[in-house]
Amino acid sequence: MRKKLLRGYARLIALSGANVQPDQEVFIGAGLDQPEFVTLLVEECYKAGAKKVVVEWNCQAVSKLHYQYRSLKTLSKLDSYELARWKHYAKVLPARIYLTGEDPDGFAGMDMEKMSKSQRKLFPIIKPYRDAMENKYQWCIAAVPGAAWAKKLFPDDTKAAAVEKLWKAILAASRADGPDPVKTWEEHNRSMKEHCAKLNALGIKSLHYTAANGTDFTVGLIPQGRFCGGAEDTLGGVTFNPNIPTEECFTSPMKGEAEGIVYATKPLSYQGQLIDGFWIRFREGKAVEWHADKNEDVLAKLIGMDPGSAYLGECALVPYTSPINLSGILFYNTLFDENAVCHLALGRGFPDCIEGFEEMTQDEIHKLGVNDSFVHCDFMIGSEDLAIDATLRNGSVVPVFRNGVWAI
């Protein structure tokens, strides 16, 4: 991959993604596959004015060994240096950049019960720091090609050729393969805001999803809720793009108001394992029944992770004709696959999907109906024949999607 293109992508992540501010600290989480690109990204963060850039390297295979050999007690607590790091995050509010590129099957065969138990125990320890940081700092998730991920997508190619193909796919999906990705994203964000404005002007009370695969599902929306998409703002007024790529207009639904069944239309890569061929039935907002052809036990662990993980935190609208879906590539990576078609998310909702959230406490936002959970996991339900009807607060019904694309 040409270094000029990669430099442009790194600049996009630093300026449009995290929007690193002068004299701000930056923490980058990255795997071991692309040290050259991470180096470019570190330099672009410094060029943007970063005071200090810290790279936190991770290795999926090593993480798997931790879960295999450490006791549940050890996995379920934070040592003093780990707590100090969370305290530092909450105090300093650094920009956070997460580079994803792990093997979709990298955690296959792992003890998911042990993992979920440890995460449930860690949640109340970490939650106060996460709440203190909510909407106060910039963050961005973007992707780089790991070798195992690339071979998963392009198994007939050599490792080097597969990585090159995945680089091209990532840059195209991320709108970073042109001469000026930053300008391209400015235009993309304007288009996203226009779609959200149309939805917000309707006054939607509920959405009803139907498709030939059996999906027949209704979800209620929060009266004070709003659809968001593209760039977001911190409470301090700093604009950033949390996901590169993104094609979604999303909102957080009303907790407790979801009825019916939804069928996933793409596999879900969750914590290094693939959940495939699955459906979930909701009653009074809660997932009460489910099935998966592959890794049903992993799906069950996800739904039962904590009291909020069986409820919905997001409804996202993405046309079936999105660039990612039209690429014909199943990425086996939620960052991309969620932006291919419409999706829902189990778990944590978004406070900034509430009008006037800036003046509210977390408790007030949750009382309005925004779900709270340790997890937030998207799963894709969009199809070529998906229809979505909006029942408005005045009682009328408006088609929002027909044949998988916008009807408004």
Q: What is the pLDDT along the chain (408 residues), one digit of tens a residue?
A: 689 999 999 999 999 999 999 999 999 999 999 999 999 999 999 999 999 999 999 999 999 999 999 999 999 999 999 999 999 999 999 999 999 999 988 988 888 889 889 988 998 999 999 999 988 999 999 999 999 999 999 999 999 999 999 999 999 999 999 999 999 999 999 999 999 999 999 999 999 999 999 999 999 999 999 999 999 999 999 999 999 999 999 999 999 999 999 999 999 988 778 899 999 999 999 999 999 999 999 999 999 999 999 999 999 999 999 999 999 998 999 899 889 999 999 999 999 999 999 889 989 999 999 999 989 999 999 999 999 999 999 999 999 999 999 998
Tokens coding 282 = 């909701």
Q: Give the chain's domains with CATH numbers.
A: 3-173 (3.40.1830.10), 202-230+240-406 (no CATH)
Can you give the pLDDT at residue 1? Answer: 64
Question: How many Å apart are CA 313 and CA 330, to the nearest integer?
Answer: 24
Residue 201: what residue type?
A: A
Global pTM? 0.87
Question: How many Å apart are CA 20 and CA 186, to the nearest integer?
Answer: 16
Tokens coding 111 = 């003890």
Describe the strand order of the beta sheet including 343-347 as a list of residue ranges: 249-251, 312-317, 343-347, 376-380
Q: Where are the beta strands (DSSP E) in 212-359?
A: 216-221, 232-233, 239-240, 249-251, 253-263, 268-270, 273-283, 286-294, 312-317, 343-347
Can you give the pLDDT at residue 270? Answer: 87
Stated as kind and residue range, the H or E segment containing 334 is: helix 334-337
**Tokens 């393969």 correspond to what residue?**
177
Helix and strand numbers (H, E) in the chain are 13, 19
Question: How many Å apart are CA 405 and CA 408, to the nearest integer?
Answer: 9
Query: Other CB atoms closer than 10 Å to residue 49's CB: what's the count?
Result: 12
Residue 193: what residue type?
A: K
Task: Give the phi and the psi of residue 388 in degrees, each rounded to 5.
Answer: -130, 125
Residue 245, preceding bond cis, omega within 30 degrees?
yes
Tokens coding 231 = 């760039």
CB 61 within 8 A of CB 106: yes
CB 210 within 8 A of CB 201: no
Can you give the pLDDT at residue 408? Answer: 87
CB 279 within 8 A of CB 290: yes
Residue 347: what residue type?
A: G
Residue (of 39, 397, 13, 9) closest to 218 by Cα position: 397
Report the phi/psi class of residue 50: left, alpha or beta, with left for phi > 0 and alpha for psi in -120 to 50.
Answer: beta
Residue (of 321, 339, 328) closest to 380 by Cα position: 339
Tokens coding 388 = 């979505």
Residue (of 186, 338, 346) closest to 265 by Cα position: 338
Residue 96: what residue type?
A: R
